[in-house]
Amino acid sequence: MEDHGEEVVLYWRPMCTYCMKLRFSLLFTRLRHRKVNIWKDPDAAAFVRSVANGFETVPTVTVAGRPMVNPSRRELLDAVKTYAPHLLKGAGE
């Protein structure tokens, strides 16, 4: 998987209620993030398996390259504050 530097990447799949919940909650922030559907990207699915004990557990999110498996909105925003605070400028909580 390529290095995504300072960005936030949300790995998801259709019909995943946990993904929908996190994606919906992020609508109320200005946190810029990129969404990757693991059912359409085999490399992304392999990456998720590599950080989730062999499972395709989603949502999996990377913050400045650091993986988080099934994080809450709060856990995700806390990680952004710690590892990529510049991405929160103007983002509401």
Q: Where are the domains of the chain?
A: 8-87
Whether residue 23 contacts residue 50, with contact meaning beta carbons closer than 8 Å, is answered with: no
Q: Is the pLDDT of residue 92 over 70?
A: no
Reported as a pLDDT band with limits 50, 70 and 90, residue 91 is low
Residues β-bridged to residue 61: 10, 68
Exposed, middle or buried: residue 26 (CB in 10 Å: 0-12, 13-18, 19+)?
A: buried
What pLDDT score does 87 carry?
A: 84
Class of domain 8-87: alpha beta
| Predicted TM-score (pTM) of this structure | 0.88
pLDDT for 31-90, tens place per residue?
889 999 999 999 999 999 999 999 999 999 999 989 999 999 999 999 999 998 888 765
